[in-house]
Structures are given as structure tokens and as C-alpha cells.
Amino acid sequence: MKARDKARVAVLRLVNADIKRVEVDERRGLSDEDVRSILSKMVKQRRDSIEQFEKAERTDLADKEKYEISVIEEFLPTQLSEAELTDLLDRIITDENIEGPKGIGAVMSMLKENYANEVDMALASRIVKDKLS
């Protein structure tokens, strides 16, 4: 088995372990939405780690995390691009007639409710704050 294949198998084992852990902890079977949520959290954790590793100039560890993200994202719906996300946020803000900083929570709530696994919520938050502040 090639090194890349071994790394892929290791990532898939991590994914499986996380899913099993949640099933055992919550004592229930998981829906597809639950699994997508777990995978999204795994990606977010790795993005946070990449940021820390890059600050510490540990590109080897950052590259490992980036590879893990690429494997995990194969099982997630395609994320909206920044341009698509901006268009979506413009529509939500216009359709719901949301104004000012007090509307940020409402927009984020609608986004999370309807597009949680298709959107990078950190990016969405930044865009919404820029638009409504």
C-alpha cells in the first residue's frame, strides 16, 4: 500500500471513530445530517489547527491537516464560493429587509438553519458583519 493510501485510510478511520463516538455518547443512530455535522466540525477543527501550525511555522503539520480536510470534504456537499455566499447573503438581507448590526444574528440564524453544511460559517459571519455594520 502506498504512503498516500495509508494516510487516506488513517483519515477515514478517524472519521469512523468520531461517528461511532457520537453514536455511543448519544446512544442513538445518526442521520445523514448528523454525520454531515460531524464532518463539518472535523473540518473546522483542522482549519483552526492549520492556523496555529502556520503561526508556529510548522508547515509539515499544516500540510497534514490540509490533506485530512481534502479527504473529509469528499463526503460533504460542495461549499458555496465566496461570491455565491455573498450573493446568497445579499438576497437574505434584501428579502428579509434586515438592517444594522442587530440583524447579524437573524441572518446567521437563517443561514445556519438552511445552509449549514454548504457554507463556511466563519466566512459568512465576516461578510454579514461587513454588510450590516
Element (H, E) at 124: helix 121-132
DSSP labels, 64-105: HHHHHHHHHHTTSPPPPPHHHHHHHHHHHHHHTT--SGGGHH
Overall fold of domain 3-73: Hypothetical Protein Yqey; Chain: A; domain1 (1.10.1510)
Distance of alpha carbon 119 from its chain centroid, rounded?
Answer: 7
The residue ranges of the chain whose pLDDT is under 50 are none
Q: What is the predicted pLDDT for the residue at 112?
A: 87
Q: Are 101 and 132 in contact (CB under 8 A)?
A: yes
Residue 50 has a CB neighbour count (10 Å cut-off) of: 20
Q: What is the predicted pLDDT for the residue at 66?
A: 96
Reference 97, options 73, 124, 132, 127; nearest CA is: 132
Q: Are 35 and 19 in contact (CB under 8 A)?
A: yes
Domain ranges of the chain: 3-73, 82-132
- The CATH class of 82-132 is mainly alpha
